[in-house]
Structure 1
Amino acid sequence: MYESLLIDERRNVLEALQQLEETRRKILYVTTGHGRLLGTLTDGDVRRWILGGGDLDGVVEAVCNRIPYSAKADYRIAEIKSAMSTHQINSVPVLDDAGCIIDVLFWDSLFQQGEEVRKGTSLDLPVVVMAGGKGTRLAPFTSVLPKPLIPVGEKTAIEVIMDAFAEHGVDEFYLSVNYKSKLIQAYFEELAPPYRLNFVYEDKPLGTGGSLHTLAGHLEGDLIVTNCDVIIKADYHALVEHHRKEDNDITMVVSLRHYDIPYGICDIVDNGQLCAMREKPHYNFLVNTGLYVLKASTLELIPENQFYHLTELIEDVKDRGGRVGVYPISDKAWLDTGEWQQYCDTMAQLRS
């Protein structure tokens, strides 16, 4: 059924983003109050709206694609299949004479399994997983196990992360390790994963970016760097494409965080005089998730054998006139396992 894909034009962008997360189709059909199709809305549309400075309280009418591909009730199936193949369309709404949706045709329903397979390109770039930290926020568990080997479901946290990249065609990983590195190495020797795995050893803790200096001059093009305690549910192809299209030196993946204050907020001036009062305000923030796409050339800026965070690299790139961009995702697309409460929340979300 397609009813869950419909959204009224007067709904706001934040509501649309939440609805997009709840459907595996990753598209919404924006309709008027009379049910007429107005346009389509994808997470890419929302992302462009946010990057353009758009307000999440804005209505979806202003954000949606107003020229969607659609079919009439007397459509010819061959024409629909041809259009879907040519333009890489996953779904096509069928409209009556009044322009209202009466059905939606989906790729996986029109094409029999094996009849036609979408041609996707593999991500031909390496992924570096920063796995050297002690994970003190997950103590006492990390007194026994290194943080990357904390179980998430039936796998370890680092396996979940790496398997997600492997599904997008990534075949080369670098693991930066320090704390309990022998346990991590032994685990992967026993696991024997189907991808290439290289270890980068830190003799001492070097922060979230210091060990990357070792790779300077050995990698070309772009690379992805991720913390070992974040699971990002995103289209990595779209992320890398955005990074390259914007010609960024660094692209940060940021997650939308929405906070409602359940009280009236008072603004004061000198001597405690009330300036203004806001009743139960809400705020939206873009939060760094710990996943980045970098040009390999930026690694040359990292000092050798020094404690150095990736946030310092971002500042150094900016100071030199480089481009640092962001790639927004929804809050539900970011699963954090770095603290106990966040770990419990992640486990609950994976089970639901």
Structure 2
Amino acid sequence: MEAIILAGGLGTRLRSIVSELPKPLAPIKNKPFLAYLLDFWIAQGVNRFVLSVGYKYETIQNKFGTRYKGAEVDYAVETKPLGTGGGLILSWEKLLSPEPFLILNGDTFFNVNLTDILSQHSNCKADMTLSLFEVSNNKRYGTVVLDKNGFVRSLGKEHKTTGNNFANGGVYLMEPSLLKEYGNHRYKKCSLEDELLPNLLRQKRRVSGFISEGDFIDIGLPEDYRKAEKILSKNYGI
């Protein structure tokens, strides 16, 4: 199985801690954050990764090369910042399999069971499946609203809901055919979360929501980075 990891961000909010490194290489107990991601998904059967990289990408290439613990590693290099959507489209062209593929954020770790999300994706005949976690406050991540059948109805920065609040966990399962119409958007900057996903919903695509109770870790802010050190080194020192 293949996975695209979106690892091209500048990580400006984390510069006070890792000023000389791309954010995915932020050290957690002397091990790059990206290594925890790769280890976790390799252990579940992912055997090929395409890394969407930009800022100081050579340091990532030098660290992981073209093979890592038996998995193939390829790179889609942004010559200018393309955003999460642009980086995804650029990386999509390097996929080899017609099967559903994973999309992972390079600065978040979400404990999602691959077998379970694949099963739901297949059973729902989904075009795309979003991993979700429950939150008490939706101001930071925004809320994903599901219909009674578990499909995504809407998403945004904030929604007033009477039920559970679910946030996007940054682990996606996608059918490769969904991005064919964006083939002529190469090298154009766009956002996966704010542009591509809403567009799929407007097109009435079947976007399923997969709820996981696993650990969710975001290293985007210094205080969260410090929490990540404790959780990852203790529970995921693979």
Aligned-pair distance for 1:350?
A: 3.5
Q: Which has the larger radius of gyration?
A: 1
Deviations 1:151-209 (A, max 9, x none): 12342111100111100111100001000001111111398532100011111111112
Aligned-pair distance for 1:217?
A: 8.3
Alignment partner for residue 256 of structure 1, among 117, 134, 152? 134
Whole-Å separation in 2 of the counterparts to 1:308 and 1:172: 25
Q: Say which SS state the counterpart of residue 306 (structure 1) adopts.
A: coil
Mapped pair 1:306 → 2:188: yes
Contact 2:66 2:72 in 1 (8 A): no
Structure 2 segments unaligned to the other structure (5+ residues): 138-161
Deviations 1:10-51 (A, max 9, x none): xxxxxxxxxxxxxxxxxxxxxxxxxxxxxxxxxxxxxxxxxx
Superposition pairs for residues 167-246 of structure 1, below 5 Å?
Answer: 167-189=43-65, 192-214=68-90, 215-216=92-93, 218=95, 219-246=97-124
Structure 1 segments unaligned to the other structure (5+ residues): 1-124, 260-281
Amino acid at match of 1:335: I
* Percentage of matched positions with identical amino acids: 27
Deviations 1:226-274 (A, max 9, x none): 1111111121110111112111111111111125xxxxxxxxxxxxxxx
Aligned-pair distance for 1:137?
A: 1.4
Matched residue, 1:295: 175
Matched residue, 2:202: 319
Contact 1:251 1:292 in 2 (8 A): yes
Deviations 1:80-114 (A, max 9, x none): xxxxxxxxxxxxxxxxxxxxxxxxxxxxxxxxxxx
Deviations 1:310-347 (A, max 9, x none): 122112222222111111122x5211112111111222
Whose RCO is larger (CA < 8 A, sep 6+)?
2
Contact 1:239 1:327 in 2 (8 A): yes
Mapped pair 1:329 → 2:209: no
Q: Say which SS state the counterpart of residue 197 (structure 2) adopts.
A: helix
Sort the Cα spacing of 1:309 and 1:301 in 2 relative to 1 into closer, same or farther, 3 A: farther
Number of corresponding residues: 205
Superposition pairs for residues 1-352 of structure 1, below 5 Å?
Answer: 125-189=1-65, 192-214=68-90, 215-216=92-93, 218=95, 219-259=97-137, 284-302=164-182, 303-311=185-193, 312-330=195-213, 333-350=215-232
- TM normalised by structure 1 equals 0.54
Sort the Cα spacing of 1:324 and 1:195 in 2 relative to 1 into closer, same or farther, 3 A: same
Whole-Å separation in 1 of the counterparts to 2:61 and 2:14: 21
Whole-Å separation in 1 of the counterparts to 2:204 and 2:168: 21
Whole-Å separation in 1 of the counterparts to 2:172 and 2:62: 27
Aligned-pair distance for 1:351?
A: 5.0
Amino acid at match of 2:208: G
RMSD between aligned residues: 2.2
Whole-Å separation in 1 of the counterparts to 2:31 and 2:225: 14
Sort the Cα spacing of 1:294 and 1:192 in 2 relative to 1 into closer, same or farther, 3 A: closer
Contact 1:216 1:300 in 2 (8 A): no
